[in-house]
Structures are given as C-alpha cells and as structure tokens.
C-alpha cells in the first residue's frame, strides 16, 4: 500500500513528530511524507518513509500571518500547489492522509482543496483519511467554522481518526457537531513515542527544561532560570534544551541567564529527549501533545505551563493533572515557580494513568481495516 501523508507544522514540532511516529508505524507499507514547515534538522526516518519537502511556510506565534511578505507568500503558494499535485500524480497513492485539515490549517486550503478535488475526480481515487489530535483550538465564529469543516470533511474524506482516548478527551468537547460527520470516526488512543528498552537509573536531582520547537516558551525558560536562583540546593542540576526553531535573539538572552549559575547547562535539541526523561527527577515544559505523552511514558515528575494563546494545552494539562499525572504551573513569578519546583521534587511520584497510548499502531490497523480492502 502506498500512503501519501501530508503534514504542515507552522510554529512548533509537535504535529511533525506525531505524524512521523504514525508514518513510522506503517513499516509494511510505503509512505511518502510531505512536510510543509521548516525542516527539523538531524531527524532520520525508517527506510519505508520518504520525506518530500514543500517550500516551507511558518506562522507567527499568534497564528495571524505567514512569516514572509505577501508577494513571497503568493509565489510560494503557487510553487507548493504545483509541487503537491506533482507528488500526488507521481506516487499514485492508495491512501491520502492529511493531518489536521479540515479541522485546522484553513490557511493551507490553497493547496489542499486542489489536491482533494484532483483525487476525488481521479479514475481510481485514494481513500482520504484525516489525522486529528485530541483537542481543537477555539474559533471566533464556531458556527461558521463547523459548517465549513463539515462541508469539506463530508465531501472529501472517507475516515476521521482522532488520536485521543475518549475516556480522557472526546472530540465533541471542542467540535460540537460531531454527529454530523458522515465518514466513520475512530478513536485510536494517544500516539506515544517509544522509550528505552532498558530505562536508565533515575537521578532525583536532575531537572530537564524544554519548550519543544522553541518558538514559544521563552518566558517559561526565563522564569525557571530566575526561580532556580532562589533554590540554593547545590546538588540540583538544570538542563535546558534548545528548541530547533528558537530565534537567535532568544537564544542569546537565555544562554546569558544560564551562564550565571554553574548548576545550569544549555543543551542542544535532542532527538533522544524521551529517553532523557526516564533519567530525570523532574521535567518542566509546555503542555503540548507529544511532551505530555513523553511525560506519561517516562513516569517522570512534571510541571507544565500551557501555551496561553488558546485552550488546547490548558485543557490537556488540566485533564492529566486531575488524574495525578503532572502538575500545572499557573504563574511564572519566579518565587511561585521556585516553590512549585521544591514541592514537586520533595513530593510523591506521579500516578500511573490508564490511558490508551498505542495510537500509532491503531492508526495502522484502522486504515488497513477500513481502507485497504478496497484495493484487494
């Protein structure tokens, strides 16, 4: 089976990492992975996954505009649209997986609607699958938004996969008209990355601070560094992970803070971060999908500060905090952060949360069961 997998990340790396974890699980098939954001450096893929890059488009942290001027945007859009259609005709996929759209990524309809129309009128169209995370961001006009989503999903899609455990978060909590979705909707469970087969010993004094892609989270790193000054314990160690998309200005400012305390270490972005969590005594981070899943998988004590621009991370963090899996940072005042670090380090370990976390494997199963039969 040939799978054309479209993924567009615009700010962080969560969409890319989750989609790539799913693509990697299709090891018995051939995956053409189309990515439309800034390429993540140093990332290697399994042999059955071929990465195909579109000219990258990213957005500002408020998701209001592309990070280039309008004349360049129009030119890039035309190049991307043609490139995407060329990839479709060249690969002749049996399955077309589109991450998030039409529930998100409306700004990319310029290339996705032509792709979907081309597929719909093809002599042997690919089955079209939407890959959707657990929580959608809120919209200014939810009625108009949901009407447009339903028009697209019911016209073009054959299957909707929600990468969530419905016992934790259900799609109707952030999309009211779920009952009007005509294609089958399947909850796969959460998509988690695998950890080490032999976990290393945990180091209680080791604190890991991360912000995913690094475009957001500067305030969190600054607050933790200033809080660390208020914790005189000489045995503690703070390792701060650089985000691959962190701006040079933010990096210069934050590394200058790090150098003030010999207990702090600035580390390059690590593709082995899930393994690092197994060794840490405490994780401090944002509350993105992948980071939260890494926290659950590793069993590390964790403090999370949800991205404040929308409800997504806050809702996820609150659900996991209610289950005792982590704690939520509600203030970036250095004194408050220092107090929460001390309390969490000295407190009991997190509870083990019984969530379905085999989402990548269940995605493969769902697509094979519901789509592949058409090509047998």
Query: Using H for helix, E for strand and C for coil, what is the string for 187-238?
Result: ECCCECCCCCCCCCCCEEEEEEECCCCCCCCHHHHHHHHHHHCCCCCCCCEE
Q: Looking at residue 111, what DSSP letter applies? A: H
- CATH 3.40.50.150 for the 2-191+357-375 domain, yes or no: no
Question: How would you class 270 by CB atoms within 10 Å of its CB: exposed for 0-12, middle for 13-18, buried for 19 or more?
Answer: middle
Q: For the chain, what are the domain ranges?
A: 2-191+357-375, 203-346
**CB 331: neighbour CB atoms within 10 A?**
12
C-alpha distances (whole Å) from 200 to each of 195, 281, 284 are 10, 12, 19
Q: Please report, in angstroms and rounded to a whole number, the separation of the first and last CA atoms in the chain.
A: 10
Q: How far apart are CA 136 and CA 248, in angstroms?
A: 31
203-346 matches 2-191+357-375 in CATH topology: yes
Yes or no: say if 209 and 291 are a contact pair by the CB < 8 Å rule.
no
Beta bridge partners of 264: 238
> What per-residue confidence (pLDDT) applies to 358?
96
> What per-residue confidence (pLDDT) applies to 185?
97
> What per-residue confidence (pLDDT) applies to 60?
81
Yes or no: say if 130 and 157 are a contact pair by the CB < 8 Å rule.
yes
CA dihedral 149, 155, 159, 164 (to 10 degrees): 0
Q: How far apart are CA 13 and CA 34, in angstroms?
A: 15
What is the CB-side half-sphere exposure of residue 254 using CA atoms within 13 A? 29
Yes or no: say if 366 and 189 are a contact pair by the CB < 8 Å rule.
no
Residue 342 tokens, joined: 């001390």
Angle at 329 between CA 326 and CA 335, to 5 degrees: 130
Grouping H, G, I as helix, E, B as strand and the rest as coil, residue 120 is: helix
Q: How far apart are CA 108 and CA 111, in angstroms?
A: 6
Alpha helices in the chain (DSSP H): 14-25, 70-91, 109-120, 142-156, 218-228, 248-258, 273-279, 289-298, 312-322, 334-346, 359-370
Angle at 130 between CA 127 and CA 131, to 5 degrees: 125
> What per-residue confidence (pLDDT) applies to 12?
85
- Blockwise average pLDDT, block size 10, the chain, 376 residues: 96 92 97 94 93 92 74 92 98 97 96 98 96 96 98 98 97 98 97 84 95 91 96 96 93 94 95 92 96 95 93 96 96 97 96 94 94 62
> What per-residue confidence (pLDDT) applies to 373?
65
CATH of 203-346, one of 3.30.2310.20, 3.40.50.150, 3.40.50.2000, 3.40.50.300: 3.40.50.2000
Q: What does R_g of the chain's alpha carbons equal in angstroms?
A: 21
Query: Which of 85, 105, 106, 77 lies closest to 34, judged by CA?
Result: 85
């Amino acid at each position: 089976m040939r799978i054309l997998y479209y993924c567009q990340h615009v700010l962080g790396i969560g969409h890319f990492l989750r989609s790539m974890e799913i693509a990697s699980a299709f090891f018995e098939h051939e995956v053409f992975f189309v990515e439309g954001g800034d390429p993540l450096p140093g990332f290697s893929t399994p042999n059955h996954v071929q990465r195909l890059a579109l000219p990258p488009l990213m957005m500002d942290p408020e998701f209001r505009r592309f990070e280039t001027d309008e004349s360049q945007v129009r030119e890039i859009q035309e190049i991307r649209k043609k490139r995407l259609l060329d990839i479709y005709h060249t690969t002749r996929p049996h399955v077309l997986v589109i991450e998030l759209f039409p529930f998100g990524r409306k700004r990319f309809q310029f290339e996705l609607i032509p792709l979907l129309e081309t597929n719909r009128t093809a002599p042997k169209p690919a089955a079209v699958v939407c890959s959707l995370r657990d929580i959608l961001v809120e919209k200014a006009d939810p009625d108009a938004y949901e009407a447009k989503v339903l028009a697209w999903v019911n016209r073009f899609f054959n299957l909707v996969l929600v990468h969530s455990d419905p016992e934790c978060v259900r799609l109707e909590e952030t999309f009211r008209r779920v009952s009007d979705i005509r294609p089958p909707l399947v909850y796969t469970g959460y998509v988690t990355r695998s950890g080490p087969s032999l976990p290393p010993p945990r180091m209680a004094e080791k604190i890991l601070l991360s912000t995913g892609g690094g475009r957001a989270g500067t305030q969190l790193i600054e607050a933790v560094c200033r809080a660390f000054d208020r914790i005189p314990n000489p045995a503690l160690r703070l390792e701060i992970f650089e985000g691959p998309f962190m701006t040079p200005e933010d990096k210069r400012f934050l590394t200058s803070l790090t150098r003030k305390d010999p207990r702090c270490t600035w580390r390059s972005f690590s593709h082995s971060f899930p393994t690092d969590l197994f060794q840490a005594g405490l994780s401090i981070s944002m509350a993105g999908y992948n980071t939260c899943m890494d926290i659950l998988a590793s069993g590390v004590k964790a403090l999370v500060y949800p991205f404040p621009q929308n409800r997504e991370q806050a809702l996820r963090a609150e659900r996991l905090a209610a289950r005792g899996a982590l704690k939520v940072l509600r203030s970036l005042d250095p004194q408050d952060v220092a107090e929460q670090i001390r309390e969490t380090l000295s407190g009991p370990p997190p509870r083990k949360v019984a969530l379905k976390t085999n989402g990548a494997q269940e995605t493969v199963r769902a697509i094979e069961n519901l789509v592949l039969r058409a090509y047998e």
